């Protein structure tokens, strides 16, 4: 068997449980006797909806998303090092710290510029 | 094939226990919240309302399944299954006792962080698929919050990984049973990292004070606005399972997992997990909700630099001690 098989088994059961709950609900649900054209309308506080929700929308955290990518990649580099901190010793510390220091300078600059503030 | 069947069996047992605990956690939270507010909570179904979760489940099973005319049916139906499946799947690598673990992965911590980050996708899919403005706003907020708190969560989880020199949760717990819990020693690294992990975990699971994606006083019900019956229940369940699993992970990473005197390991693990779980409830029914911009400011101005400093401090400590 491949090494991942216990994980695969767990995920299969997890999604089967979630899926079977939906199927069970489909079998047991009560069907409405009368349908109304108003019932399946989108909820908007009782008014008829003013247009679809799929419109251009200002995502106010564009810079935050960029920063997330930067720090996520930082973490991707840190994880392998985290396992061998003892073996890597002082040389490893110096290398990783200079890398993180460069990132943190970028972070400081963004804070100074107010780039991370809600716009 | 036998090993696979055995794994399926273990997974079924763990998930069954997890779901049962989740069902009664709902009852417990309602009772707990009621007592905090001088109310009685559920009393009618069974003794002190103990059968309330069963009644709720039966009620939700029968509800009519409504798909709004303008919704994206595929995303709308797929999202709750993905949300619940990913939340339950995260439990795979949690060691409940030395030999009770779904999948003993060497990259357990990484798997947890990955599947924790995946749970935001179904939430946004639900928000987008509903074609409802409240739901879309909730989904947008969920993504903003999740990517902001992902970074402190990663950094906080790095601290025990560096201290134990392993990403296998079982090995991390074993290291703690030999060298003392990370919460107790080195406490100047363990306690701040534990607090940071808890804060980020609350935010990832969308619990108060970080529940801005479904803030009911402004967004109706956030992403779950258009959901009825079992699909709504799946989202609700996913949130509770996520919190429960995250409590178990925090217990394993910082509080020594199954390690403890006088009682079998499983008892200690369950006790620690439930204690953290109750703590999460306590926070929920005590604190107010942060505003969206405050939430982002806390993460990027305070938690991220704290996390970086903690990781650096831990590395220096480990190198200095060896």
Instruction: With beta carbons under 8 A apart, name residues in chain A contacting B21.
Output: none
What does the buried/exposed string (b/e) look like for B168-199 if buried means 16 or more CB atoms within 10 Å of the residue's CB? Answer: bbbbbbbbbeeeebbbeebeebbebbbebbbb
Complex ipTM: 0.79
Domain carrying residue B124: 63-321
pLDDT of residue A59: 67
- CA A46 to centroid of chain Cα atoms: 32
Residue B100 has phi, psi (to 5 degrees) of -110, 95
Q: Which of A11-20, A61-70, B82-91, B299-308 has the lowest mean pLDDT?
A: A61-70
- C-beta atoms of B151 and A12 within 8 A: no
Instruction: With beta carbons under 8 A apart, name residues in chain A contacting B70.
Output: 42, 49, 52
Domain A59-119 has CATH 1.20.58.1610: yes
Higher-scoring residue by pLDDT: A88, A53:
A88
| A39 lies within 8 A of chain B by CB | yes
pLDDT of residue B116: 83
User: Can you tell me the distance from the alpha carbon of B28 to that of B41, in angstroms, rounded to the nearest whole number?
Assistant: 10
Mean pLDDT score, B103-121: 84
Taking Cα atoms as reference points, which of B67, B60, B213, B64 lies closest to residue B130?
B67
Higher-scoring residue by pLDDT: A98, B98:
A98
- CA B31 to centroid of chain Cα atoms: 21
Band of residue A21 on the pLDDT scale cut at 50, 70, 90: confident
Query: How far off is chain A from B39, nearest CA to CA, in Å?
Result: 30
- The Cβ of residue B84 has, within 10 Å, a number of other Cβ atoms equal to 30
Domain membership flag for residue B271: yes
Which of A61, A86, A107 has its CB closest to that of B318? A86
B69 pLDDT above the threshold of 80:
no
Residue B291 has phi, psi (to 5 degrees) of -75, 160
Task: For Cα atoms B145, B204, B189, give the angle at the middle one, nearest 5 degrees.
Answer: 105
pLDDT of residue B216: 67
Domain total in chain B: 1
B185 pLDDT above the threshold of 50:
yes
Q: Crossing angle, helix B108-118 and helix B120-129, to 10 degrees? A: 10
Residue B188 has phi, psi (to 5 degrees) of -70, -15
Query: How far off is chain B from A56, nearest CA to CA, in Å?
Result: 12
pLDDT of residue A1: 45
Whether the Cβ atoms of residue B313 and residue B189 lie closer than 8 Å to each other: yes
Q: Which of A43-47, A95-99, B238-242 has the lowest mean pLDDT?
A: A43-47
Could you tell me the two tokens for B264? Answer: 């079998």
Domain membership flag for residue B310: yes
DSSP H or E stretch at residue B281: helix B265-286
The residues with which B100 forms a beta bridge, in sequence order, are: B97
Which of B105, B155, B296 has its CB closest to that of A118? B296
Domain membership flag for residue B25: no
Residue B97 has phi, psi (to 5 degrees) of -155, 165
CA distances from A15 to A66, B86, B105, B224, B302 (A): 32, 8, 19, 20, 37
Domain membership flag for residue B152: yes
Contacts with B150 (C-beta within 8 Å, 6 or more apart), sequence order: A68, A72, B113, B116, B117, B200, B204
Q: Where do the structural domains in chain A lie, given as residue ranges?
A: 59-119
Question: In chain B, count of helices (H) and strands (E)?
Answer: 13, 0
Range 192-211 of B in CB contact (< 8 A) with A: none
Contacts with A89 (C-beta within 8 Å, 6 or more apart), sequence order: B319, B322
- C-beta atoms of B133 and A44 within 8 A: yes
Range 258-317 of B in CB contact (< 8 A) with A: 292-293, 296-297, 300-301, 304-305, 308, 311-312, 315-316
B240 pLDDT above the threshold of 50:
yes
Mean pLDDT score, B249-269: 82
Higher-scoring residue by pLDDT: B262, B161:
B161
- C-beta atoms of B296 and A64 within 8 A: yes
- C-beta atoms of B225 and A43 within 8 A: yes
Q: What proportion of chain B, given as a percentage, has pLDDT over 70?
A: 96
User: Can you tell me the distance from the alpha carbon of B28 to that of B292, in angstroms, rounded to the nearest whole number?
Assistant: 29
Domain membership flag for residue B7: no
- C-beta atoms of A22 and B91 within 8 A: no
Mean pLDDT score, A18-40: 79
User: Can you tell me the distance from the alpha carbon of A44 to that of A8, in angstroms, rounded to the nearest whole number?
Assistant: 41
Q: Which of A51-55, A87-91, B95-99, B143-147 has the lowest mean pLDDT?
A: A51-55
Whether the Cβ atoms of residue B205 and residue B244 lie closer than 8 Å to each other: no
Q: What is the sign, positive or negative, of the torsion defined by CA atoms of A98, A99, A102, A103? A: negative
Instruction: With beta carbons under 8 A apart, name residues in chain A contacting B220.
Output: 43, 45
Instruction: With beta carbons under 8 A apart, name residues in chain B contacting A35.
Output: none
User: Can you tell me the distance from the alpha carbon of B277 to that of B287, in angstroms, rounded to the nearest whole number?
Assistant: 16
Taking Cα atoms as reference points, which of B300, B284, B282, B304 lies closest to residue B292?
B300
pLDDT of residue A10: 84
Higher-scoring residue by pLDDT: A24, A53:
A24
- C-beta atoms of B131 and A53 within 8 A: yes
Could you tell me the two tokens for B226? Answer: 């258009």
Could you tell me the two tokens for B68? Answer: 């709004």
Band of residue B26 on the pLDDT scale cut at 50, 70, 90: confident
- The Cβ of residue A16 has, within 10 Å, a number of other Cβ atoms equal to 18
Domain membership flag for residue B47: no
Domain membership flag for residue B20: no
Q: What is the pLDDT of residues B186-235, one digit of tens each?
A: 878 888 989 899 888 888 777 666 666 666 667 777 777 778 778 888 88
Q: Which of A90-94, B96-100, B207-211, B318-322 has the lowest mean pLDDT?
A: B207-211
């Amino acid at each position: 068997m491949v090494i991942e098989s216990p994980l695969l088994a767990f995920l299969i059961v997890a999604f089967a449980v979630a899926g079977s709950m939906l199927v069970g609900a489909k079998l047991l649900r009560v069907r409405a006797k009368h349908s109304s054209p108003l019932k399946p309308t989108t909820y908007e506080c009782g008014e008829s909806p003013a247009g679809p929700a799929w419109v251009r929308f200002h995502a106010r955290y564009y810079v935050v998303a960029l920063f997330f990518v930067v720090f996520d990649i930082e973490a991707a580099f840190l994880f392998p090092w985290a396992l061998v901190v003892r073996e890597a010793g002082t040389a490893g510390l110096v290398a990783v710290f200079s890398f993180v220091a460069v990132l943190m300078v970028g972070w400081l600059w963004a804070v100074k510029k107010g780039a991370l503030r809600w716009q | 094939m036998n090993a696979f069947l055995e794994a399926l069996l273990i997974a079924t047992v763990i998930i069954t226990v997890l779901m049962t605990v989740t069902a009664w956690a709902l009852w417990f939270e309602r009772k707990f919240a009621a007592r905090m507010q001088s109310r009685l909570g559920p009393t009618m179904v069974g003794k002190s309302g103990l059968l309330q979760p069963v009644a709720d489940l039966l009620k939700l099973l029968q509800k009519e399944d409504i798909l709004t005319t303008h919704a994206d049916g595929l995303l709308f139906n797929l999202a709750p299954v993905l949300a619940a499946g990913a939340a339950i799947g995260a439990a795979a690598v949690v060691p409940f006792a030395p030999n009770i673990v779904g999948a003993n992965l060497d990259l357990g911590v990484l798997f947890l962080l990955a599947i924790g980050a995946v749970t935001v996708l179904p939430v946004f899919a639900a928000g987008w698929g509903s074609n409802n403005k409240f739901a879309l706003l909730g989904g947008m907020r969920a993504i903003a919050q999740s990517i902001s708190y992902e970074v402190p969560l990663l950094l906080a989880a790095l601290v025990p990984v560096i201290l134990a020199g392993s990403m296998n949760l079982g090995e991390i717990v074993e290291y703690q049973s030999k060298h003392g819990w990370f919460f107790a020693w080195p406490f100047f690294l363990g306690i701040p990292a534990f607090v940071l992990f808890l804060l980020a975990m609350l935010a990832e699971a969308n619990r108060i004070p970080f529940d801005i994606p479904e803030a009911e006083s402004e967004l109706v019900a956030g992403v779950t606005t258009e959901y009825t019956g079992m699909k709504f229940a799946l989202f609700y369940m996913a949130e509770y399972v996520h919190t429960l699993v995250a409590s178990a992970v925090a217990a394993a990473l910082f509080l020594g997992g199954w390690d403890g005197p006088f009682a079998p390991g499983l008892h200690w693990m369950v006790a620690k997990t439930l204690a953290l779980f109750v703590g999460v409830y306590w926070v929920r029914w005590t604190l107010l909700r942060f505003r969206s911009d405050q939430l982002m400011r806390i993460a990027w101005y305070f938690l991220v630099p704290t996390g970086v400093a903690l990781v650096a401090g831990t590395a220096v400590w480990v190198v200095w001690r060896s």
